[in-house]
């Protein structure tokens, strides 16, 4: 039996996770041996108790669960993001979830904000390094509150960290039959880390002679994503750039309401979450689109050994999009709950 730890989190994370759980219930009823427990980590708990996510709980997840599912974290009552950082980045770092897998796939041409782009044109996968770079938390502030204040945030790039995400991207390209890997950095300005990324990309790339290697500086990559997105198959980049690439990528494929993701360490307990945040202004209003959260359930089930269920869930979402049984951010009129119910009805039919 596969066990999942579910953390609805904050804001619309709570709304969309309710729908994700409906899908898990449907999958379970169809005979898949899964079970889940729900955990109330998030802003409310933090504000009431000061607890973010205890180390013992991370150990519990690591030892007793096969996957963790998070809706979203972030709340305006915690402006420094303390709890969100400890919960989300804490899990990514403590579980060493170095692969941030974020597919970008257009399900219907009308959802693309670019002119004359087909579903074939917008179909690529982004691998974001997920444990290092500017997110590593190295740095500090001195002379705070004075005119001489200094803030330093250092980008950490280890040979091991850079190499393993690049190798994962090549391996994925090879296994999925995608012909090209694009690496993006800012090596024209940031020579030290850029040099390491360039060398690792060239050296690991030699192990994959059949896969084309492409490079764009990050500014040019974002421009190319808008100008000629059809060139992309697999993109690999550092933590910070990967964050930015995947919000733009989500938008190319219809918006945050359709973007799912996985934070993965192959073979270990991994974390799954929609790319979007907690959109606090939509919380509790039956407005949030649950399809990103539902597609994320599919990505998680694939990781847990049920790839057919990922396909079935993805097909149900494609059908919902095609028949306009979707929430209003995609041009439909369904509420959060009705949208989840519609997907469940397709899965049960
Ligand atoms: P956001 O993704 O929460 O919302 C940005 C906008 O995108 C929303 O105003 C809305 O218009 C749209 N949107 C996002 N998800 C949607 C959905 N499911 N359905 C319909 N529309 C949707 O990003 P933000 O406003 O920058 O951040 C809000 C909070 O979430 C912040 O605290 C931020 O730090 C946090 N955040 C958390 C995560 C996470 O937990 N993984 C990711 C990103 C942001
Ligand atoms: C994401 C989010 C997070 C990130 C935030 C909430 C720290 O934007 O998952 O894309 O930057 O990784
Ligand atoms: Mn982001």
Tens digits of residue pLDDT in 155-186: 999 999 999 999 999 999 999 999 999 999 99
Atom of ligand 1 nearest to the CA of 76: 32
Output b/e per residue, 222-254; b: 16+ Cβ within 10 A: bebbeeebeebbbbbbbbbbbbebbeebbbbbb
Residues 265-276 have a mean pLDDT of 98
Band (pLDDT 50/70/90 cuts) for residue 61 is very high
Output b/e per residue, 86-97; b: 16+ Cβ within 10 A: bbbbbbbbbbeb
Q: Which two tokens stand for residue 294?
A: 């539902």
Regarding the beta carbon of 288 and ligand 1, being less than 6 Å apart is answered yes
CA 159 – CA 183 distance, rounded (Å)? 15
Gap from CA of 219 to ligand 1 centroid (Å)? 23
Q: Find the angle CA(167)-CA(172)-CA(178) to the nearest 5 degrees.
A: 120
pLDDT of residue 58: 98
Band (pLDDT 50/70/90 cuts) for residue 107 is very high
Contact predicate 245/184, CB 8 Å:
yes
Which residue(s) pair with 4 in the sheet?
Answer: 36, 67
Residues 38-67 have a mean pLDDT of 98
pLDDT of residue 136: 96
CA 239 – CA 261 distance, rounded (Å)? 14
Which residue(s) pair with 180 in the sheet?
Answer: 212
Regarding the beta carbon of 89 and ligand 1, being less than 6 Å apart is answered no
Q: Which two tokens stand for residue 320?
A: 């919902």
Regarding the beta carbon of 92 and ligand 1, being less than 6 Å apart is answered no
Mutate to test the pocket of ligand 2, among 89, 101, 128 (most ligand atoms within 8 A of CB): 89
Regarding the beta carbon of 19 and ligand 1, being less than 6 Å apart is answered no
Regarding the beta carbon of 289 and ligand 1, being less than 6 Å apart is answered yes
Gap from CA of 347 to ligand 2 centroid (Å)? 30
Atom of ligand 1 nearest to the CA of 9: 40
* CA nearest ligand 1 atom 8, residue: 279
Gap from CA of 277 to ligand 3 centroid (Å)? 8
Chain centroid offset of residue 73 CA: 13
Band (pLDDT 50/70/90 cuts) for residue 92 is very high
Gap from CA of 122 to ligand 1 centroid (Å)? 22
Which residue(s) pair with 152 in the sheet?
Answer: 140
Residues 40-53 have a mean pLDDT of 98
Q: Which domains does the chain have, with CATH numbers?
A: 1-105+254-349 (3.40.718.10), 132-252 (3.40.50)
pLDDT of residue 285: 98
Q: Which two tokens stand for residue 215?
A: 């490079």
Regarding the beta carbon of 74 and ligand 1, being less than 6 Å apart is answered yes
Tens digits of residue pLDDT in 191-206: 999 999 999 999 999 9
Contact predicate 233/182, CB 8 Å:
yes
Q: Which two tokens stand for residue 263?
A: 């934070």
% of the chain surpassing 90 pLDDT: 100
Mutate to test the pocket of ligand 2, among 7, 88, 130 (most ligand atoms within 8 A of CB): 88
CA 122 – CA 154 distance, rounded (Å)? 34
Give me the torsion for CA of 235, 236, 238, 244, rounded to 10°: 10
Gap from CA of 98 to ligand 2 centroid (Å)? 14
Residues in contact with ligand 2 (CB, 6 Å cut-off): 74, 84, 88, 243, 275, 277
Q: State the average pLDDT for the chain.
A: 98
Tens digits of residue pLDDT in 207-248: 999 999 999 999 999 999 999 999 999 999 999 999 999 999
**9 CB-contact burial (10 Å; exposed 0-12 / middle 13-18 / buried 19+):** buried
Tens digits of residue pLDDT in 316-340: 999 999 999 999 999 999 999 999 9
Output b/e per residue, 102-124; b: 16+ Cβ within 10 A: bbbbbbbeebbebeebeeebbbb
CA 88 – CA 284 distance, rounded (Å)? 22
Mutate to test the pocket of ligand 2, among 91, 98, 243, 273 (most ligand atoms within 8 A of CB): 243
Which residue(s) pair with 184 in the sheet?
Answer: 216, 237
Residues 3-25 have a mean pLDDT of 98
Q: How far is CA 95 from CA 87, 196, 266, 339, in A?
A: 12, 24, 11, 33
DSSP result, 165-176: HHHHHHHHHHHH
């Amino acid at each position: 039996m596969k066990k999942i730890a579910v953390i609805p989190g904050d804001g619309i994370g709570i709304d969309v996770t309710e729908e994700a759980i409906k899908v898990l219930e449907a999958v379970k009823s169809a005979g898949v041996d899964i079970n889940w427990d729900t955990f109330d980590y998030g802003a409310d708990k933090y504000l009431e108790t000061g607890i973010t996510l205890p180390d013992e709980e991370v150990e519990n997840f690591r030892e007793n669960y096969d996957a963790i599912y998070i809706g979203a974290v972030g709340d305006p009552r915690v402006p420094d993001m303390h709890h969100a950082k400890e919960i989300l980045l804490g899990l990514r770092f403590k579980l060493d979830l170095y692969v941030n897998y974020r597919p970008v796939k257009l399900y219907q041409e009308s959802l693309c904000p670019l002119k004359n782009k087909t579903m074939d044109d917008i179909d690529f996968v982004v691998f974001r390094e997920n444990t290092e770079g500017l997110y590593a938390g190295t740095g500090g502030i001195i002379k705070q509150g004075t005119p001489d204040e200094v803030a330093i945030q250092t980008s950490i790039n280890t040979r091991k960290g850079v190499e393993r995400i690049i190798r994962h991207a090549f391996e994925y390209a090879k296994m999925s039959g995608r012909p090209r890997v694009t690496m993006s950095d800012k090596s024209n300005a940031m020579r030290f880390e850029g040099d390491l990324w360039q060398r690792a990309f060239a050296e690991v790339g030699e192990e994959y002679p059949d896969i084309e290697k492409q490079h764009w500086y990050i500014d040019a990559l974002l421009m190319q994503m808008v100008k000629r997105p059809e060139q992309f198959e697999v993109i690999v980049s550092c933590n910070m750039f990967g964050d930015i690439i995947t919000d733009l990528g989500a938008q190319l494929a219809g918006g945050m309401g359709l973007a799912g993701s996985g934070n993965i360490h192959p073979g270990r307990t991994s974390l799954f979450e929609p790319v979007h945040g907690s959109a606090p202004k939509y919380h509790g209003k039956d407005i949030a689109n649950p399809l990103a959260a539902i597609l994320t359930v599919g990505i998680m089930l694939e990781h847990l050994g049920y790839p057919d269920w990922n396909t079935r869930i993805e097909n149900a979402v494609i059908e919902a999009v095609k028949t306009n049984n979707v929430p209003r951010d995609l041009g439909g009129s369904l509420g959060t709950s009705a949208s989840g119910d519609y997907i469940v009805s397709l899965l049960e039919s």
